């Protein structure tokens, strides 16, 4: 019966992480998958989450179903986190938000929705982008193209080519953008560049799809949402997917959201209805526990302030690791241009290392990067950074 089914080769990032877990190298260091580790090399349980857990354990509420669109308080808190408390689009009730199964679930429900209501539209993603963007949009039956983004020669953004490409797209094309901490390059658009891009998106009647998985890891929770809020103020329709996996360190609880910014309250209500229908067709309703934890944190001012401070701690630690690695590399390789490390933002950096160099780092030194040269900077700590720098320097010198 099932003989014709071909084997699945696996997700390259997850497969590499599994190989890391099995590796017996005494000094192995995981800089591959996007996980935030603290300086003691642990995936943290945030203190605000720990306190929310204690509150929930006391309440001992039943594990009932959530509605299709998710928990009301979670959705409200999510909207305020993404769009800002005083957002005019929230005040006008022009945003339709559902709780999603992680950021990935938001991308998929959004992709399905767009495929249904804009059947002729293709999606444009940055070159390169997170592999799963392609997988998820292709899974929804959308045609995928790439716009220029990363310039290998200068390890920076090809903004003019990017803008040039997007300026030629047909109306209703879907343009996937990352508002902060670009995965995989770590290279973000500047505010000036967003201010050039947004009118093009608006005038050409394109559909921006803003995918935010690292809010708070760049410059701050509000700062990182600046492009989203600027688009909201421009009075244009767009889509936002967001994930709390990293900034709450709640990866496995699958907590995210999908928001459509519409032209009116009535339009937003209709969209919300169709998003609920989409959820019902696939998984009926989203998971409960992550939403309870996050809404408890964000709905309790003291815990919300603590979250903000803990996100700041994670952001500052990542920045510190960027500066330290840069200094070590510059010291070891006077000729090395390690400047990219502090120019790039968020968990990832594109190092410019070739696949062959990445293979040598892994095989000889136990240092795991993605073969694209992407490094998860959040895997560095005071105890392993010297080894990483020495290993990179050896390989770059050879
Ligand atoms: N979008 C980007 C750019 C990501 O890097 C990730 C990472 O996991 C996601 C979406 C998906 O988030 P989640 O893990 O919550 O599904
Ligand atoms: O890019 C990353 O490493 C993160 C984590 O299928 C991730 O976004 C990687 C692969 C995957 C899901 C999440």
Q: Are residues 257 and 374 in the same domain?
A: no
Does the pLDDT of residue 336 top 80, yes or no? no
What is the per-residue pLDDT across 178-227, written as a single tens digit (0 to 9) for each?
Answer: 999 999 999 999 999 999 999 999 999 999 999 999 999 999 999 999 99
Does the pLDDT of residue 334 top 80, yes or no? no
Helices (H), the chain: 12-22, 47-59, 72-83, 88-91, 102-117, 131-139, 159-166, 191-203, 221-224, 226-234, 265-282, 289-299, 301-332, 340-343, 355-365, 385-397
Q: Are residues 237 and 329 in the same domain?
A: no
Best probe residue, ligand 2, of 10, 16, 34 (max atoms within 8 Å of C-beta): 34
Last residue of a domain, one of 249, 275, 299: 299
Domain count, the chain: 2
Residue 177 near residue 213, CB atoms below 8 Å: no
Residue 6, domain member (yes or no): no
Does the pLDDT of residue 337 top 70, yes or no? no
pLDDT at 381: 97
pLDDT at 333: 86
Q: Are residues 68 and 178 in the same domain?
A: yes
Question: Is the interface score ipTM higher than 0.85?
Answer: yes
| 257 touches ligand 1 (CB under 6 Å) | no
Q: Are residues 293 and 321 in the same domain?
A: no
Q: Is 211 a catalytic residue?
A: yes
Does the pLDDT of residue 99 top 90, yes or no? yes
Q: Are residues 349 and 205 in the same domain?
A: no
CA of 269 to the centre of ligand 2 (A): 32
Instruction: Residue 365: give its domain's CATH number.
Output: 3.90.1150.10
Does the pLDDT of residue 335 top 80, yes or no? no
Q: Are residues 88 and 115 in the same domain?
A: yes
Instruction: Name the nearest CA neighbour of 96 among 104, 106, 85.
Output: 106
Q: Whose CA is nearest to atom 2 of ligand 2?
A: 34
Mean pLDDT of 108-124: 98
| 126 touches ligand 1 (CB under 6 Å) | no
Instruction: Residue 88: give its domain's CATH number.
Output: 3.40.640.10
Q: Are residues 37 and 110 in the same domain?
A: no
CA of 205 to the centre of ligand 2 (A): 31
Residue 207 near residue 238, CB atoms below 8 Å: yes
What is the per-residue pLDDT across 258-298, written as a single tens digit (0 to 9) for each?
Answer: 999 999 999 999 999 999 999 999 999 999 999 999 999 99
CA of 213 to the centre of ligand 1 (A): 5
Residue 56, domain member (yes or no): no
**Catalytic-labelled residue, pool 188, 224, 246, 307:** 246
| 243 touches ligand 1 (CB under 6 Å) | yes
pLDDT at 296: 98
pLDDT at 398: 73
Best probe residue, ligand 1, of 177, 188, 216, 243 (max atoms within 8 Å of C-beta): 243
Residue 3, domain member (yes or no): no
Residue 150 near residue 187, CB atoms below 8 Å: yes
Q: What are phi and psi of 242, to 5 degrees?
A: -140, 155
Residue 4, domain member (yes or no): no
Q: Are residues 186 and 235 in the same domain?
A: yes
Q: CB under 8 Å to 130, separation ≥6 — which residues? A: 183, 184
pLDDT at 203: 98
Residue 104 CA, closest ligand 2 atom number: 12
pLDDT at 285: 98
Coarse DSSP helix, strand, coil percentages of the chain, rounded to the nearest 5 percent = 50, 15, 40
Q: Are residues 308 and 250 in the same domain?
A: no
**Catalytic-labelled residue, pool 130, 158, 188, 194:** 130
| 211 touches ligand 1 (CB under 6 Å) | yes
Question: How many angstroms from the chain centroid is the CA of residue 376?
Answer: 13
Residue 291, domain member (yes or no): yes
Q: Is 115 a catalytic residue?
A: no
Residue 153, domain member (yes or no): yes
Mean pLDDT of 299-321: 98
pLDDT range class, residue 42, cuts 50, 70, 90: very high
Residue 111 near residue 142, CB atoms below 8 Å: yes
Task: Answer positive or negative: Cα dihedral of 145, 94, 194, 258.
Answer: negative
Last residue of a domain, one of 282, 299, 316: 299
Residue 370, domain member (yes or no): yes
Does the pLDDT of residue 397 top 90, yes or no? no
Mean pLDDT of 117-138: 98
Average pLDDT, the chain: 96
Residue 217 CA: which ligand is closest?
1
Q: Are residues 35 and 78 in the same domain?
A: no
Best probe residue, ligand 2, of 11, 130, 134, 184 (max atoms within 8 Å of C-beta): 130
Q: What are phi and psi of 223, to 5 degrees?
A: -60, -40
Residue 53, domain member (yes or no): no
CA of 168 to the centre of ligand 2 (A): 31
Last residue of a domain, one of 243, 271, 299: 299
Domain that holds residue 334: 12-46+304-397
Q: At what angle do helices 102-117 and 265-282 cross, to 10 degrees?
A: 110
Q: CB under 8 Å to 127, separation ≥6 — which residues? A: 146, 147, 148, 149, 150
Pocket-forming residues, ligand 2, beta carbon under 6 Å:
11, 13-14, 33-34, 130, 132, 183
pLDDT at 194: 98
Residue 213 CA, closest ligand 2 atom number: 8
Percent of the chain topping pLDDT 70: 99
């Amino acid at each position: 019966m099932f003989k014709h089914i071909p084997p699945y080769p696996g997700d390259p990032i997850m497969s590499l992480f599994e190989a890391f877990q099995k590796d017996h190298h005494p000094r192995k260091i995981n800089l591959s998958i996007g996980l935030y580790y603290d300086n003691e090399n642990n995936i943290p349980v945030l203190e605000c989450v720990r306190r929310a857990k204690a509150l929930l354990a006391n309440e001992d509420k039943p594990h009932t179903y959530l509605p299709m669109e998710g928990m009301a308080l979670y959705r409200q808190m999510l909207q305020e986190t993404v769009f800002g408390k005083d957002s005019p689009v929230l005040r006008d009730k022009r945003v339709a938000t559902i709780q999603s199964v992680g950021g990935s679930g938001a991308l998929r429900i959004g992709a399905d929705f767009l495929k249904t209501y804009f059947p002729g539209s293709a999606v444009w993603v940055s070159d390169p982008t997170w592999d799963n963007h392609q997988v998820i949009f292709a899974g929804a039956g959308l045609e995928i193209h790439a716009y220029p983004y990363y310039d290998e020669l200068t390890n920076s953004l090809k903004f003019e080519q990017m803008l040039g490409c997007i300026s030629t797209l047909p109306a209703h094309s879907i343009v996937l953008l990352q508002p902060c901490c670009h995965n995989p390059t770590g290279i973000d658009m500047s505010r000036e560049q967003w201010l050039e891009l947004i009118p093009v998106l608006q005038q050409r009647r394109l559909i921006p799809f803003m995918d935010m998985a690292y809010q708070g890891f760049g410059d701050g929770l509000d700062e990182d949402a600046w492009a989203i809020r600027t688009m909201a103020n421009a009075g244009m329709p767009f889509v936002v997917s967001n994930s709390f996996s990293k900034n709450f360190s709640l990866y496995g609880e699958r907590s995210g959201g999908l928001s459509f910014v519409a032209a009116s309250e009535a339009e937003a209500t209709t969209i919300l209805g169709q998003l609920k229908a989409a959820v019902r067709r696939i998984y009926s309703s989203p998971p409960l526990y992550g939403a309870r934890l996050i809404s408890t944190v964000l709905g309790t001012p003291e815990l919300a302030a603590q979250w903000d401070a803990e996100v700041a701690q994670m952001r500052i630690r990542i920045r510190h690791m960027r500066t330290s690695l840069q200094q070590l590399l510059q010291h070891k390789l006077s000729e090395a241009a390690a400047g990219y490390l502090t120019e790039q933002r968020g968990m990832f950096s594109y190092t410019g290392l070739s696949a062959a160099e990445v293979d040598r780092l892994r095989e000889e030194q136990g240092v795991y990067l993605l073969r694209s040269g992407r490094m998860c900077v959040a895997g560095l700590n005071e105890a392993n950074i010297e080894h990483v720098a020495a290993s990179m320097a050896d390989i770059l010198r050879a």
